[in-house]
Amino acid sequence: MTVLLYNTDGETKGEIKLDSSVFNDIINTSSVYQTVKSYMANQRKGLASTKTRGEVSGGGRKPWKQKGTGRARAGSTRSPLWRHGGVTFGPLPRDFSTTLPKKVRDLALKSVINAKIKDKRFFVLDDLTVAAAKTKMAVAIFSKLKIDVTKDKILLLVDKLDDTTKRALHNLCNVRVTAGKNTNAYEVLRADKLVITEAGLSGLTERLKA
C-alpha cells in the first residue's frame, strides 16, 4: 500500500510505501468496539457515593416510643424512608476500568488507521515546521492540504515538535497533537482527518510491528 507524501506547501513530493504488516487494508470492527468501550470505561472516575443509614450523622435517639402514639414504628430519623435519611442501595465508589490484550488494542489501532486511509482522510507530511509562532501560518498548512480547521477535527501525529510550531498550533482548538507512537484507537477514530509526519509514521509503524 502506498500513499502520497506532501510538504507544508501542499505539494506532492511523491509516494511513500507503507509497511504491509501494519497497513494491510484490514478493518476488524470487533476489536475496535472492544477497545473503544474499554478506553471510555477507563476514563470514568467512579466517584459517585451515597451514605447508608449507618453513615448519616445523627439519628441515634429513637424519635418516639414504640407503642401508644398511633404513629408507625420508628427507630431512627436517619431511616431511608425519612427526609435527611440514608440511601438504600445507592452508588458507592467503584473502579470501572478494564484491561485488554495488547494484540487487541494494536489490531484496533491498525483497523481505524486503515479505515482512514481507505476513506482518503490520511495525510503524510515530510516534516512540520512553522517559520514563526503565528496561528495563521499553521492554518495555511492545513488549508493547502484542503483541510478546514474550523470544521474538521484533526489528529496530528508527530515524532517531536519545536517550540515555535507548538505555539503556532496552540490556538487551534480542533487540532489535537500527540506522538505517533503514543496514539490510541479512540482518538484516531474520533478525528475527521489524520495528519502524520514522516517521522511520526516511522514511530507508529515500529510500535505496531513490535
User: Whole-angstrom Cα distance, residue 82 to residue 195?
Assistant: 58
pLDDT at position 209, please?
84
pLDDT at position 24, please?
87
pLDDT at position 77, please?
94
pTM, 2 dp: 0.82
pLDDT at position 160, please?
85
| Domains of the chain by start residue, with CATH | 2-28+100-209 (3.40.1370.10), 45-95 (no CATH)
pLDDT at position 210, please?
65
Q: What is the pLDDT of residues 2-22, one digit of tens each?
A: 889 988 888 888 889 998 888
pLDDT at position 13, please?
87
* 186 CB-contact burial (10 Å; exposed 0-12 / middle 13-18 / buried 19+): buried
List the chain residues with pLDDT less than 50. Answer: none
Question: What is the DSSP code string of the chain?
Answer: -EEEEE-TTS-EEEEEEPPTTT-SS---HHHHHHHHHHHHHHH---------TTTSS---S-SS-SSSSSSPP-S-TTSTTSTT---TT------------HHHHHHHHHHHHHHHHHTT-EEEES----SSS-HHHHHHHHHHTT--TTTS-EEEEES---HHHHHHHTT-TTEEEEEGGG--HHHHHH-SEEEEEHHHHHHHHHHHH-
